[in-house]
C-alpha cells in the first residue's frame, strides 16, 4: 500500500488540539452553560476564553492574522465546545459562516479589511440570508440593494440571524436585479457600527441554544460603498450555496459535540445509578441503548471528518465534485443522530433526565435546531437526491 494514501483521520496535532480545547471548555465554559441557558444570555465567559485561547475563529488564514487552521481542526474546536455548551459553539461556527463568503469570493481588500478584526477577536461576523418569507426558498428574498452613485443602498429585513446584535459584521444577501431571479442576488458586507440604518429586532424566545441571540437584522436605507460587494454583481446566491457546502459541516460538528456530551453524561450516570440491587449499567437493555448511541455517533463523526477534508481541499482550489453531497449528508446524519442520542440520554436518566438539575434535557433541546438551521434536513435530502440524479 502506498504511504501517501488519502486519509481523513485526525492527525496527532488535531488530537492535541482536541485535548487543549476540551480542557479549556470544561474549565472556562462548562461552569456557565446551565446559567447561560437559564438566563438566555450571551456566553461572554466563553467568548473571552475562546479569544484568549485563539479559538474563536481558527479558520481565518494566517495571511490575514488568523490561526490558519484547516477545516478538520475547525470541526474539532466546534465539536469540543458544543460538548459542554451548544450556544458557545456558535461563536467559532458563526464566525466561519459569516466569513466564508468573503474567503470564497471577496476581493483582497475586503479580506484584509474584515478578516483581521475577526481573527484578533475584536469583532464577530454573522450571515444574513434568510427572511420571514424566504427560509428554505432563500432565492425568494425581498431585501433590495439599489445602485446609488458610487455605492448601494440596502433595504429589507433579515430573519433568524444567529448572534445578531453581538456580531459587528454581516454578510448580507440582497436583490440587485429583480428580473433575474437567483442570478439577480448579490452579497455585501455590512458593518453595523459604521453603517447608519442597521438595527435589530427583539431576541427570539427559543427552545434551545438560548445563549446565542437570534434576531432580525433590519436594514433601512443602509448605504455601503461599491467595494463592499462580495464578488461580482449577481453572484451572491451562488456564493451563498457554495458557502453552505462548507458550513453545513460545522453544524454537523456542533451536533456531534452535543451528542457526545449527552452520551458521556449518560455513561457516567448509569454506572452510578443503582436499581434492583445493582448499577443500571449492568442491565443488557441499557447496554444496548449505549452501544447504539455510540455506534451511530461514531458513524456520523467519520462522515463529518471525511466531509471536512473535502471542504479543505475545495477551499484550496481543488475541484471536489461530491462536496455538496457529503456536506449535506454529514449535516443531516449528525443532526438526526444528535436528536436521537440526546433523547436516549434523557431516557436513561429517567425522571432526573427530565429536570434542569441535569444537563441532558438542555442538550436535547439544543440538538433540535441542528436539524433545522443551515437548511432543514428535508432540504438536505433534496440536495443529496439532486446530486445523485443529475
DSSP letter at 29 equals I
- Tell me the pairing of strands 198-200 and 144-148: unpaired
Candidates 349, 344, 342, 340; CA nearest to 364 is 342
Active site (catalytic) residues: 374
Candidates 291, 312, 317; CA nearest to 11 is 312
Strand (E) or helix (H) holding 217: strand 214-225
Report residue 70 as a C-alpha cell: 484547516
Distance CA 172, CA 212 (A): 19
Q: Is 298 helix (H, G, I), strand (E, B) or coil?
A: helix
Distance CA 7, CA 66 (A): 25
Report residue 377 as a C-alpha cell: 434536513
Residue with grid cell 486519509, as numbered in its chain: 7
Strand (E) or helix (H) holding 365: helix 360-370
Distance CA 148, CA 45 (A): 42
Distance CA 368, CA 379 (A): 16
Q: Which residues, in sequence order, are bridge partners of residue 219? A: 156, 198
* DSSP-assigned states of every residue in 45-78: HHHHHHHHTT-SSTTS-GGGTS----HHHHHHHH
| CA end-to-end distance (rounded Å), the chain | 34
- Residue 275 CB partners (closer than 8 Å, separation 6+): none
Say how many CA atoms lie within 13 Å of 253 toward its Cβ.
Answer: 28
Alpha helices in 217-353 (DSSP H): 236-272, 284-315, 323-349
- Residue 385 CB partners (closer than 8 Å, separation 6+): none
Distance CA 199, CA 212 (A): 18
For helices 323-349 and 377-389, angle between their N-to-C axes, nearest 10 degrees: 150
Amino acid at each position: 500500500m502506498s504511504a501517501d494514501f488519502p486519509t481523513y483521520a485526525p492527525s496527532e496535532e488535531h488530537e492535541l488540539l482536541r485535548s487543549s480545547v476540551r480542557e479549556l471548555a470544561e474549565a472556562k465554559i462548562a461552569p456557565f452553560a446551565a446559567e447561560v441557558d437559564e438566563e438566555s444570555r450571551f456566553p461572554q465567559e466563553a467568548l473571552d476564553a475562546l479569544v484568549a485561547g485563539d479559538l474563536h475563529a481558527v479558520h481565518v488564514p494566517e495571511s490575514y492574522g488568523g490561526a490558519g487552521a484547516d477545516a478538520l481542526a475547525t470541526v474539532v474546536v466546534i465539536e469540543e465546545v458544543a460538548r459542554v455548551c451548544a450556544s458557545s459553539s456558535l461563536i467559532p461556527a458563526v464566525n466561519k459562516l459569516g466569513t466564508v463568503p468573503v474567503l470564497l469570493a471577496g476581493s483582497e481588500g475586503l479580506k484584509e479589511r474584515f478578516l483581521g478584526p475577526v481573527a484578533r477577536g475584536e469583532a464577530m461576523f454573522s450571515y444574513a440570508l434568510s427572511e420571514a418569507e424566504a427560509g428554505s426558498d432563500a432565492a425568494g428574498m425581498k431585501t433590495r440593494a439599489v445602485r446609488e452613485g458610487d455605492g448601494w443602498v440596502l433595504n429589507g429585513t433579515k430573519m433568524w440571524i444567529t448572534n445578531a446584535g453581538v456580531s459587528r459584521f454581516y454578510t448580507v444577501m440582497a436583490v440587485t436585479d429583480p428580473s433575474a431571479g437567483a442570478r439577480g442576488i448579490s452579497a455585501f458586507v455590512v458593518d453595523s457600527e459604521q453603517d447608519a440604518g442597521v438595527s435589530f429586532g427583539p431576541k427570539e424566545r427559543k427552545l434551545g441554544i438560548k445563549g446565542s441571540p437570534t434576531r432580525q437584522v433590519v436594514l433601512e436605507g443602509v448605504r455601503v460603498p461599491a467595494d463592499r460587494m462580495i464578488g461580482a454583481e449577481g453572484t451572491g446566491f451562488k456564493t451563498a450555496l457554495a458557502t453552505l457546502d462548507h458550513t453545513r459541516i460545522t453544524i454537523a460538528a456542533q451536533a456531534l459535540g452535543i451528542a457526545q456530551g449527552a452520551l458521556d453524561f449518560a455513561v457516567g450516570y448509569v454506572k452510578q445509578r443503582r436499581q434492583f440491587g445493582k448499577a443500571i449499567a449492568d442491565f443488557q437493555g441499557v447496554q444496548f441503548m449505549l452501544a447504539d448511541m455510540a455506534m451511530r455517533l461514531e458513524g456520523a463523526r467519520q462522515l463529518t471528518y471525511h466531509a471536512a477534508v473535502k471542504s479543505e481541499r475545495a477551499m484550496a482550489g481543488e475541484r471536489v465534485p461530491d462536496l455538496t453531497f457529503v456536506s449535506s449528508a454529514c449535516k443531516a446524519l449528525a443532526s438526526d443522530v444528535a436528536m436521537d442520542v440526546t433523547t436516549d440520554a434523557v431516557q436513561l436518566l429517567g425522571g432526573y433526565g427530565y429536570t434542569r438539575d441535569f444537563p441532558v434535557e438542555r442538550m436535547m433541546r439544543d440538538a433540535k435546531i441542528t436539524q433545522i438551521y443551515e437548511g432543514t434536513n428535508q432540504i438536505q435530502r433534496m440536495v443529496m437526491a439532486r446530486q445523485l440524479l443529475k
